[in-house]
Chains A and B, each alone.
Chain A
């Protein structure tokens, strides 16, 4: 683990679907670099054979009867949708026009 590069920040921003300006890339590279450097302190600890904890409760599977229930009304579901037509959500073209 070494300090983050600008290229890494750009890559991560792409994975996270965030558009960044050049200025932001600069700023976040510095800030995220300081944070990733700080978290290196964890390497002081030997964690060989330590089980990871994803969740503190001893819950494994939570089951219920498979009974169909009424879902939300379409009208409600579409309440916060900016653009819709015939119950379908409208989005811009998926493929870029040539």
Chain B
């Protein structure tokens, strides 16, 4: 077994026994990247020199001063700012941008002793479901290089699935952690809105965005969330709610857990292999002592339209800052300041970003505001109430993460609405603001499928407990794609 196939526990054991040093671990990480990233193309920037230097320093730290994540390698989605390390949001408009401070989550993982390996590819400004809208490269799904890794955190999920890093951070506005986690057969958590500080996460839709962990197993995921969670004076929307010690609650016991299965999540548009894998998963939960009942989330079918209005409106405002003045790309040969703005943005943004900026601007403009933006906010209330109501009687909601396994590169890129429809099962969760995880639950012709477990506000603990129990009872998470001769 290579170092990179080990869990955090196994890695710390090996380090503790002196089997290998952190320098060996980080060296092997970059060797693996060299070996497979030509195919996978998950990374946009590497932090090699600094990472190796840090590993050498950290090797001197005595074992009793090390926490469970100390010295372990992590990849960061390229919309989370890292001081001194280029951060582009996979957009031309931020080419060469060097952040002058660390995001709060970056500060926190550094305090925990983690070593940043590099920055990971994504859909431009996190707008997309396939990582194909990146200005720089197309990341491939490690299970089938002709298919997309999902998005927008496609680089994060693919790098973990490919064994390049055991940990990655992603962001999720409408499914951008969970959908790629499902497509790549890894574990991805979108925490409750407010659980993790958004300070330093480049804003897409501020009322929906959350940072979360992507890992190969549930235990490591919980470990990382515990590190990055918590209130932050730099983010007034981060919640002052105590962060539990998640991993201490992972005992595999879910006797009496009340599971709700929304009929809308297994209905029209959901593929047969996906439906079957969820039904099988429900049998596993029952055998572990959980109860399973069908419920209804009647406003589910309105979530997609609501999301595209709200997220695009917020994006049109958030992305107004890219004007070519203080940082990033600036168009040449312009006549005046207005021309500079228009040309910089025309040349700096890709089509999907432009579409959403225009949709958002339209939704917010005089004459359409009430019919679009306000209407969508009202429907958001109805969607949220659906979830509140179900959670009066149940502990978690379970369903598929995506309607189908990973699709082929190029298959949906020219048809925005078909691409958007891929997120119908993840989007409502962001609108309701509740936490949800995607874990591996099966395969369709060698392509991974994801199970989504949704919890109450700030109850990531129960979500992790359910996910862990399922993982212990199955072995989907132990399978790896056959990359680089493995």
Q: Which residues of A contact B (CB under 8 A)?
A: 1, 4, 8-9, 12-13, 15-20, 28, 31-32, 34-36, 38-39, 41-45, 47, 50-57, 59, 62, 64, 72, 76-77, 79-82, 89, 91-96
Residues of A within 8 A of B207 (CB): 54-56
A32-B359, A80-B98 in contact; A50/B382 too (CB < 8 A)? yes
A57 & B346 in contact (Cβ 8 Å cutoff): no
Most chain A CB inside 10 Å of its own CB: which residue of B100, B301, B355, B371? B100
Interface string of B52-95 (1 = CB under 8 A from A): 00000000000000000000000000000000000000000000
Which residue in A15, A34, A93 is a CB contact (below 8 Å) of B365? A15
Residues of B within 8 A of A (CB): 96-98, 100-101, 193-194, 207, 233, 236-237, 239, 299, 301-302, 305-306, 308-309, 316, 320, 323-328, 330, 334-343, 345-346, 349, 354-355, 357-359, 361-362, 365, 368, 371-372, 374-382, 384, 416-417, 432-433, 457
> Which residues on the A side are within 8 Å of B355 (C-beta)?
28, 31-32, 35
A89 contacts which chain B residues (CB < 8 A)?
325-326
Interface class of chain A by DSSP? loop
Given contacts A38-B305, A42-B375, A42-B376, contact A12 B362 (CB under 8 A): yes
* Cβ-defined contact, A81 with B371, below 8 A: no
B233 to chain A: closest residue by CB:
A64
20 pairs of residues in contact across A and B, judged by CB atoms under 8 Å: A15-B365, A19-B342, A31-B355, A34-B417, A38-B305, A39-B376, A45-B299, A47-B382, A52-B374, A54-B377, A57-B194, A77-B100, A79-B98, A80-B326, A81-B326, A89-B326, A92-B336, A93-B336, A95-B336, A96-B336
Cβ–Cβ contact B305 & A18, under 8 A: no
User: A43: which B residues are within 8 A, CB to CB?
Assistant: 375
Tell me the smallest distance from the CB of B228 to a CB of chain A, in Å.
18
Nearest-CB residue, chain A, relative to B357: A16
Complex interface: chain B residues within 8 A of A36 (CB): 359, 362
Residues of B within 8 A of A12 (CB): 358, 361-362, 365
The tally of CB-CB contacts under 8 A between chains A and B is 155
**In the assembled complex, which residues on chain A have CB atoms less than 8 Å from the CB atom of B359?**
32, 35-36
Is the Cβ of A1 less than 8 Å from the Cβ of B368? yes
A4 to B336, CA, bound (A): 30
Chain B residues contacting A57 (CB-CB under 8 Å) are: 193-194, 237, 239, 433
Q: How far is the CB of A76 from chain B (nearest CB, A)?
A: 4
List the A side residues contacting B301 at CB < 8 Å.
Answer: 41
**Given A19-B339, A51-B378, 8 other A-B residues pairs in contact with their CB atoms under 8 A:** A17-B345, A31-B416, A41-B305, A45-B302, A53-B377, A80-B327, A80-B328, A94-B336
In the bound complex, residues from chain B placing their C-beta under 8 Å from that of A18 are 342, 345-346, 349, 354, 357-358
Min CB gap A19→B, angstroms = 4
Q: Is the CB of B358 within 8 A of A59?
A: no
Cα A81 to Cα B101 in complex, Å, equals: 16
Q: Are A52 and B308 interface neighbours, CB within 8 A?
A: no
